[in-house]
Amino acid sequence: MTAENSGRLTLEGRKKLTLTGAKEVLRFDEELAELDTALGPVTIEGTELKLKCLSLDTGTVVVEGQVQSFSYGQPRRRGRWRS
C-alpha cells in the first residue's frame, strides 16, 4: 500500500464517500458501515447506504447514500497483553 492510498476520506455533498486504505469490511447495511482501515476502524452512519465500489486489493471503498456521520476509532495494537 502506498502512502497515497494509506488513508484518505473524501465526502462529496454528503452523498458519496470515498475511502482509501481499507483492509476489511466488518459490517455493511443501509444505515451503517464499519470498516477496518490502515488508520484504524471507521464507522459510517446514514440512510440508504449502498456499497458502490469495493477493492481490497487497492484499499478503495465507495459508499453512496445520505451520509449523516463518520468517525475513526482507535486502532487496535498488535501484541497487546490480555488480562
Give pLDDT, residue 39. 87
Q: What are phi and psi of 28, to 5 degrees?
A: -155, 125
- Residue closest to 16 by CA, chosen among 52, 55, 45: 52
CA distance 44 to 52: 14
Q: Cell numbers for 11, please give them.
A: 465526502
Spans of all domains in the chain: 9-72
**CATH 3.10.20.30 for domain 9-72:** no
Which runs of consecutive H residues, i.e. helices, occur in the chain?
Answer: none
Give pLDDT, residue 56. 85
pTM for the full model?
0.80
Q: pLDDT by residue for the chain (83 residues), tens digit each?
A: 444 447 899 999 999 999 999 999 999 999 999 999 988 899 999 999 999 999 989 999 999 999 999 999 887 665 444 43
